[in-house]
Structure 1
Amino acid sequence: MTDTVALFQAFIRVVEAGSFSRVAEEQNSSQPTVSRQIATLEDHLGTRLFTRTTRKLTLTDDGRGFYERAKLALEAVAEAEGAVGRRRARPSGTLQLALPVVFGRLRVIPYLKGFLARYPDVSVDLVMSDGFSDLVEDGIDLAIRSGVVTDPNLIARKIGVTRRILVASPSYLRGKTLPTHPNDLIGHDCIPYTRFTGGVTWRFESPDGPIAIEATGPVRTQSSEGIREAVMSGLGIGFVPIWHFRDEIETGRLIVLLEAFEPKPVPISAVYPSRRFVPQKTRAMIDYLETQFAMDPTLNPKRV
């Protein structure tokens, strides 16, 4: 008997990943095996779902229509299983969790031991990058992101909030005039974060309205770890979320500047692909991190 659900799952992942070989790698199988699954599904449906060339896969008209219906069908199956399973089952399976590098290292990985002790049937595959993953294409179950999420294809649930602050080391500030206004930064070495526009154009709040400064200096980087190390090494002033440096600020190894001009806090969200049924493992991680973040003053500041 043909396992129709498995064929639907293989088809959807091939569409999302755009490659038989990539799906084969995910399934620990082979490219011919995945290709046979799609061929079996096409025979079952009596239609061709893909146009294949040596360079790419393209959905046919029937394939595009079937893709949307197959997703709904699998969501219905999962929801039906979950309605029964929630009464007796614990979260299980591998959770693909995408995290920014420094945030993951400092603010998520330290909590994972408690999560895994609570949910021993769940394993976590950490996908750590400062860039945004394509959650659907990369098969990501859950991502943690800072800032406003505008992608209409994603669901975002706020699980924390954080301040953005200016920091510098005593060694950098030694012998220099401390800035008292954002305009004073023009005379300082700033360390721009070049991965996105907000890392180069620094925005502040003042009684007279917003202030924007173009951050310049001899060192620039697209890496959050690079920002940390450059600031700690005394290379200049960094503009970062406060969770980057909680311990360093508390112990005096870094100094916070221009607090009176601090911009509005930004949300931290758990983000997942838009779908009606969310796996128990994903819900469990979201709820767990939200609870942990609520106890962290850098992720739930009292001033907010």
Structure 2
Amino acid sequence: MISRLSVSIVRACLREGTGGSPTAVLDETPLSDDERCRVPVLAGTSHAAFVAVHGSEVSLRFFTAGGELPACGHSTVAALAFLAARAGGSEYRGALRAAGRSFAGRAVREGTRFRAVFEPGPVTLRDPSPDECALVLPTLGISPGTLVPGARVASAGRARLLVPIASRSELAALAPDFEALRAACDRFGLLGCHVYSVPTSAGRIAARMFAPSIGVLEDIANANSTACLAADLAGRGVTGIAVDMGDSLGSPATITATARPVVRVGGVAEVPGAVLELTG
């Protein structure tokens, strides 16, 4: 039984000051993993980030209704903004730790908001197998002829399939079969599918992340997938991207990433002045 919890609902990865992905951020507290999975449900968010400060290092744990994640990019952006708001001042720098990995993060105040950036660590890339393509791609509902060559399996903690598509309009029209997608992703150990439009000359991209295997049918913002995409596109000469997400869910979000030479990813977040009290 969850006793009273104080939770900040941070809007991570805003687009021009609006939208973003609401993320529950709270101080570490003694809870079972099942109770942690209930926090985003009670808070009305897709994810929850638990923050524990140990001297100069901050430990992070991430949960959805489906379980714990080894990494979560937009929740890291939210946690950095949360820490920066608490610290005060114009800039926050922290040594973060999640799933046994240490990495640096920073957040700079921009008026009432914070621009956060961090290094998600090494990204592994490989071509998908014929079986992965044959079983996963049809579940996305992509019209024939709109797929673009270049699908990749990428991981910044957990593997996901990056799927290029011809246009933003085709992306907006996708209606995946989530049950079939989950079964296909579970078979190959994939977190989900990050479907994205062909980058413009300026590196602007639209994307949708489908992850029913972790209890999130569609993510408003997915920074780790953006980091994976940045790493993949860097090999094709694109070193900086801005990825628009969340439009299909009515909450526009933008995540930025560079790969010169290491991958850095981030976004703008807004921390509420008041906290939400949860019981349940």
Bin for the TM-score computed over the shorter chain: under 0.3
Higher Cα radius of gyration: 1
Higher strand share: 2
